[in-house]
Structures are given as C-alpha cells and as structure tokens.
Structure 1
C-alpha cells in the first residue's frame, strides 16, 4: 500500500518536472538574440544600408468639407415702412451695392398725408407751447388758477409726444424734418442700402403694390463671411490645437487660408459631426454664401523617427528595428509605432539616438535573427 503511494507521487513529480521543462524551453525559444554580427568580408553586408535618421515632428493631412456662411449681423433685411407702389427698382439679385445706394422708390398719396400730419402736429405743438408759457406768466401775476396751468401743461406735453412720434416716422422714411417744416415736401420714399454687400434677394417688381412692413430686399455683407467645416468625433483629438485650415470653393479654385476661431465641444445632431468655425485671413469678393468648401488641415505634430515600412520587424506581436553599432554588427531594439501609413511608419525609442537605422536589407537581418533563435 505504501509503495503504491510512493510510486504515484514520484510519477506525479516526474510529470510536473517534464511540464516545467517544456514551459521553460518554450519561453526560451521566444527570446530573440539582440546582436547580429557578420564577418567583415560577408557579401550580405553589400545588401544592407543604414541611415542616420533625426527625430522630427510630423503631421497628418486631414481632409475636411464645409460651407461658406454669413453671420446674422452681416445679413440685412430691407422692409417697407409705408404702403405704396414700387418705382425705379435699381438692383437685381446678385447686384453689388454700397451703403447708401438707392434700391428703389415707393410712391403713394399717403406719403404726402404723413408729411401734412407732421406739419399739423408741429403747429399744434407750437400753439400748446405758447399757451403753456402764457399760463405760467399769468399764474405768476395771480391772474389764473393752478388748475388751468396744469391743463395747459398736460396739453403741451401731449402735443410734444405726438410730434416726436411723427418726427421719428418722418426720419425713418428718409425725410429731412427741417426741409418739411420749411415747406419742401417729398413725393416718394427712397429706400437705401443699409450696408455694403450683395443683394441676395429681390422680392418685388416694378409697379407692384406693397403694404407697410413688407420684406423687399435681402443684402449680405461679404466683408465678414466665415467658413464652417465639419469633422468626425474620431478626428477631433487630432485637430484640437490647429490654428489654420486651407480651403477652396467650388466656383474658385484659389487656395486660401482661414484662421480657426472656435472648435465646437459637442456633436451636432443633424450632421453627427463637430463644427470648426473659421474666418478667412483675406477678404474676397469671390466667396458665395452657401457655397460648398473643400478644405484640409494639418493634425497635431508627432515627435519621432520616420522609417520605411519594411524596416520594421514584428515578432510575438512586438515591434522591432535594427540599428547598426559597427561596420558589421547590428542590434535589434524594441520600438513603439506612433503612426502608420501605406509606406512609412513613425516610431519612437530611447535607444535610437545617434545610431544609423537599417532602412534596406532588414529582411536579411530578420533571417539571421530567426536562424539563431
């Protein structure tokens, strides 16, 4: 009975020992030699090229799409302040105008009525003003009552309020109040452009009748246009520190620069993207509101070494390169790949500095390493 137990125990120990030897052997097999050394006259050296590569800063080019927009303060809506008939339309959609240019005229008998009422209100104000002053003098001589003075005062201030209201209407119509008081009446209302810009819409025709507060024109000031470009949330981290984008419009192939003013901190529901708000660095008359924009920007810089794709050696999911330590000796070192593309890698390692990196013939060294391994 005892001998049987001892046999089983010894057998278990032997199995465990064999298993451990296999694990140790397997782990040993996964350790790569670090050094590859050839004899000075080995012909393989002719097919291996090393180059000193300096650490640099590298950026990606990120393609963007966007649109030309006008801020709300650059869009001017021109309304009629009186009813009447449209006359002398001088602009059309797309016309460039300067502030103060004539857009059209409005004619109606009511325009004369407004001026006549203004004159009537002025006469009433003068009458009530004189009466108020007269009552103040009479009260001083005890020739009138305080009640009568108060009535004159109220009449004066009421007339003043009516006159000021009518004067404001006269001014808003573009009339000179002093000219009207001197007897020079206006036969029509002249609508002027409130800003430099482009007429983006004309909503009336020659001779058409319009009511008061009717929208007639829309004018866009092209001096303050901006660009909005859209990026996916996955690209956002690469563009957080950009200051400039480069863009072209569909109608004009000129490459322009725009300064990044703001990068949105949230994703828009409609586009599922993040908006970058930019201002063109140079003013241009060729930008059209609503026009599509193709743009690009350079991502945040990455510090590292740019090597050809075939210089990298991957083993057990780890990445290595070869550096040359002497004429015929090469060393395998681990690296971190920061960025990949179809032909190059950007890598980093604290063991590279000062040593040439094998850029051609790395496959020869790989074969030698694997043969030794």
Structure 2
C-alpha cells in the first residue's frame, strides 16, 4: 500500500515540474521571436544600386532641393496677352499691286525692314508733279522779280505784282505737299530726277516682332483697308489673371506670380503684378490683375491659357517635385544620390567575385541611391514642401524623376534577402 502511494506521489510531482518548465519556456520563445523581428527590420535595405543603363532606360533624373513659395498663395486662371501698342498691322499708305513679298509666317522682322514692294502708275505721276512744280516755281520767281522791278519804276501795276506773288506762294505750297507725299512713299525728294523716277514702293515693318499673319500675296491689290501682314512683339507679353472678388483685398502691386501653361505644365514661368483692375470682367465676377512676364519667355504666345499662383508674401520653403516622394508603411521617403554601398550585399558580392571567372572582371558602373524619410508639407503647382526627418545636405541630389522605379528596385532587393 505504501509503495503504491509513493509511486502516485512521484508521478504527480513529475507532471507539476514539467508544466512549470513549459510555462517558463514560452516567454523565452516570444522574446527570441521579437528580437529576430527587430533584427529583421534593422536589416531592411535603404540603398538601391542601379546601373547607368537602367538609369537611362527608365529616365531616372536627379535635381536639387528648390526653394518655393507654397504658403500664403492665391490660385487663379488667366490668359497671356500682348498689349495693342506692341501689335502692328502692316498696310500701304498708297494703294498698289504687290510685286514682291519677302516674309513668311513666323519670321522675325526688325523695325524698318522691307517686307514687300508694291507698284502703281500713280507713283510716277506724283514724282512728275513734283518736278513740274519745281520748274514752275523757278519761272514764278523770275516773274515776281520782274513785276516787282516794274512796280518800283512805276511801269507796272500793283495788281500784277500781287498776282505773281500769290502764284509763287501757291507753287511753294504744292512743292512742300508733294515733297511730303514722296517722303511718305519712302522716296527722297532731292533724289527725284527725270531719269530716276521710281515705279515701286517699299513697305517696311513699323515695329520689331514676329509675323503672325500674312494677308496679301503677289499680285493682290492692297491699300490702307487691305493690309499686307500683321506683326506681334511677344517680348512684351503680359499676363491677365482673373481673380475672384474674395481674393481681391489680398492683391498688391509688385507681388510675384508663378504660372504654367495649361497645355504644358512641365515648365514654370514668372510674372510680376503691375496693375489691378477696378471692374468686373463680363459676367464671370472676376477682376483682371495685370502682370508683366519676367525672365524666360520661351514658348509663350499671345492668347495662351495659364494657371497661376500669386505669392502673397516672400516666405519660401524647401520643396521638390511631388513625383519625387514615395510612400511606404504610412511614411514618406525621397531618394538621394550617395557614395554609400549596399551593406547587405557586400559579403555576398565579395564571395561571388572570388567564384567568378577572371574573364568577368569588368562590371557595369552603378549609381547608389539612399532612401531618406521626410515629412510632407503643402503641395501646389506640382511641388511639395518637405522637412527631412534626419539631416539632409543642402546640395543633395534628389531623384526627381523615376523615384517609383528606384523604390521598386529597393523593394525587390529586400524581398530577395528574406
């Protein structure tokens, strides 16, 4: 009986000991798993390595961190305009038939440049009248002198003297009028002779600019009401912003406007407010804010639609193109070009190099990009303000295009390791 009780006691004690051992072992197993998970997270790669061929094929582009005015702004749509005093309609002051046309649409012409010539028999008649008037003046002067002498010697009448004087003044007036007409034709009156009368006139550009429209052709009849061409000076482009009534009190002369073309949002241009309208534009309930385009004007043409942002103050913030930012696990990152090497692969690469045949010594040149966490700020006009979580050099080269591909490359490396 005692032997039986002793056996039961030993079995019970061994079960209790085994159960306690299992309870103590469980926390150790969880701790080991947590440590392994932590090591796994710390080992996640942050540097992606791309070959030059990959960079070129995908279009990975780097750029600096820019300073942008993304806070305290007013958005507005607008239109590019050239003031009327920088537009010109080229017309002939005297009617005629087009003989030569020396321009094409899109050509740049300078003020005074000959763009066409026209002919008309009337031009010869004007020169003929001018030469005839000069001859008559010479005779009238002699007649006036003769009548004056006769009158002094009581051999002539005062009436004849007054008549000759009047004739001389009339002819002098005609000469001045004809000389002015010749000058308007582009003919120097002093050069007009019986042997040098011109049959054609030159039409010159009244301003410097680009030929926007040609209305005439060789053989067509032109006059003041039928112009030859139109010239526009795009260097004097203005920007008319349509600002809503609620934003008008915030507008000031001298404010800077950043704008982009509606059909080309890649390029940004600048303008400066020089005048604020005082009446509503039609039924749109907007007021025109007039701005002068400053800096680069390449690709800008009269009549283009734009989207602009008016900077209400001069405060700027670090910003990069919005597409340069990638999101992962609820956080935001950018990639910067670095000289660091991917640590996770150094040992594997050195091992592979030893096993690789000597004939495979040449490797494609690679560029490394490091993943850096940032905090996103205000976004506008394709740019987003950023604040680096850690330190970021002011001259850092940010991946502004192709960041998605670089991130995908890094993600594939991480999955390969696990």
TM-score bracket for this pair, using the shorter chain length? 0.5 to 0.7
Q: Distance in 1 between matches of 2:250 and 2:224?
A: 53
- In structure 2, the CA distance between the partners of 1:116 and 1:78, relative to structure 1 (3 Å rule), is same
Paired residue secondary structure (1:129) = helix
CA–CA distance in 2 between the matches of 1:68 and 1:112? 46
**Residue of structure 2 equivalent to 1:129:** 141
Residue equivalent to 1:191: 203
Q: Is residue 200 of structure 1 aligned with residue 209 of structure 2?
A: no
* 1:132–1:152 CA contact under 8 A, matched in 2: yes
Structure 1 gap segments, 5+ residues each: 1-56, 303-342, 345-373
2:271 corresponding residue in structure 1: 258
How many Å apart are 1:187 and its aligned residue? 2.3
Check 1:122–1:270 CA distance in 2 against 1; reply closer, same or farther (3 A cut): farther
Alpha-carbon offset, residue 174 of structure 1? 0.9
* Cα distance per residue 1:276-305 (max 9 Å; x no partner): 111122373633111122211123589xxx
How far apart, CA to CA, are the structure 2 residues paired with 1:251 and 1:175? 48
| 2:160 counterpart (143, 148, 173) | 148
CA drift at 1:171: 1.0
1:269 is matched with 282
1:179 and 2:191 aligned: yes
Asked whether the equivalents of residues 277 and 288 of structure 2 are also in contact (C-alpha less than 8 Å), the reply is yes
The equivalences for 1:203-352 within 5 A come to 203-211=215-223, 213-240=225-252, 243-250=255-262, 253-282=266-295, 284=297, 286-299=299-312
- Aligned mate of 1:73, from 67, 85, 92: 85
Q: Please, what TM-score do these two structures have when normalized by structure 2? A: 0.54
Aligned counterparts of 2:151 and 2:286: Cα–Cα separation in 1: 77
Which of 113, 117, 125 pairs up with 2:129?
A: 117
Alignment check: 8 A CA contact 1:74 1:220 kept: yes
1:108 aligns with 2:136: no
CA RMSD between the two structures:
2.7
Distance in 2 (alpha carbons) for counterparts of 1:152 and 1:131? 6
Residue 210 of structure 1, CA deviation: 3.1
Structure 1's 223 and 301: CA in aligned 2 closer, same or farther, altered over 3 A?
Answer: closer
Number of equivalenced pairs: 248
List runs of 5+ in structure 2 lacking aligned partners: 1-68, 316-376, 379-418
The 2-side partners of 1:72 and 1:188 are apart by 30
Summarize deviations over 1:174-222 as a string: whole Å, max 9, x none: 1111111474221211111111101122111111233565322221123
| In 2: Cα distance, 1:172 partner to 1:263 partner | 40
Indicate whether 1:94 and 2:92 are aligned. Answer: no
Task: Give secondary structure in 1 for the equivalent of 2:291.
Answer: strand
Q: Which residue of structure 1 lines up, in the alignment, with residue 399 of structure 2? A: none
Q: Name the SS for the 1:103 alignment partner.
A: strand
Describe the shift of the 1:148–1:237 C-alpha distance in structure 2 as closer, same or farther (beyond 3 A).
same
Report the alpha carbon displacement of residue 84 of structure 1 after superposing the two structures with TM.
Answer: 2.4
SS where residue 144 of structure 1 aligns?
Answer: coil
Task: Measure, in 1, the Cα distance between the counterparts of 2:236 and 2:251.
Answer: 24
Given that 1:268 and 1:274 are in contact with CA atoms closer than 8 Å, whether structure 2 keeps it comes out as: yes
Say whether the 8 Å CA contact 1:223–1:283 is kept in structure 2: no
Shift of 1:274: 0.6
CA shift at 1:80, angstroms? 1.7
Instruction: Quote the Cα distance in structure 2 between the aligned partners of 1:271 and 1:260.
Output: 21
3-state SS of 1:255 partner: strand
Higher helix share: 2
